[in-house]
Chains A and B, each alone.
Chain A
Amino acid sequence: MSVMVVRKKVTRKWEKLPGRNTFCCDGRVMMARQKGIFYLTLFLILGTCTLFFAFECRYLAVQLSPAIPVFAAMLFLFSMATLLRTSFSDPGVIPRALPDEAAFIEMEIEATNGAVPQGQRPPPRIKNFQINNQIVKLKYCYTCKIFRPPRASHCSICDNCVERFDHHCPWVGNCVGKRNYRYFYLFILSLSLLTIYVFAFNIVYVALKSLKIGFLETLKETPGTYPPLAVCPSKAFLSYFPACFLPTFLPLSSFSDIRECQGLK
Chain B
Amino acid sequence: MWKSQVHNLQELRRSASLATKVFIQRDYSDGTICQFQTKFPPELDSRIERQLFEETVKTLNGFYAEAEKIGGSSYLEGCLACATAYFIFLCMETHYEKVLKKISRYIQEQNEKIFAPRGLLLTDPVERGMRVIEISIYEDRCSSGSSSSGSSSGSGSSSGGGGGAGAR
Partner-B contacts on A (CB < 8 A): 77-78, 81-82, 85, 93-95, 97-98, 100-101, 104, 129-132, 136, 146, 149-151, 183, 186, 256
Contacts and interface: CB of A to CB of B under 8 A. Distances in A.
Interface in B119-151: 127-129, 131-132, 134
A81 B21 contact: no
B86 interface: yes
Contact of B129 (A77, A94, A129): A94
Given A129-B28, A151-B32, A85 B86 contact: yes
A146 B29 contact: no
A52 B142 CA distance: 75
Contacts of B132: 101
6 contacts: A78-B85, A93-B129, A95-B129, A97-B131, A101-B128, A132-B30
Contacts of B28: 129-131, 136, 150
B58 interface: no
Nearest to A82: B85
Prevailing SS type, chain A contact patch = mixed
A101 B23 CA distance: 7
B31 A132 contact: yes
4 nearest CB pairs, A to B: A81-B85, A94-B129, A95-B129, A131-B28
Given A104-B21, A149-B26, A183-B86, A131 B128 contact: no
Contacts of B23: 101, 104
B11 to A, nearest CB: 14
B127 A95 contact: yes
Given A78-B85, A94-B131, A146-B131, 16 more contacts: A77-B85, A81-B87, A82-B86, A85-B86, A93-B129, A95-B128, A95-B129, A98-B128, A101-B23, A101-B134, A104-B21, A129-B28, A131-B28, A131-B29, A132-B31, A150-B28
B82 interface: yes
Contacts of B87: 81
Contacts of B21: 100-101, 104
Nearest to B81: A182
B29 to A, nearest CB: 6
B124 to A, nearest CB: 9
Contacts of A130: 28-29
Contact of A149 (B30, B86, B131, B134): B131
A245 to B, nearest CB: 20
A136 B26 CA distance: 14
B136 to A, nearest CB: 9
A189 B28 CA distance: 33
Contacts of B82: 186
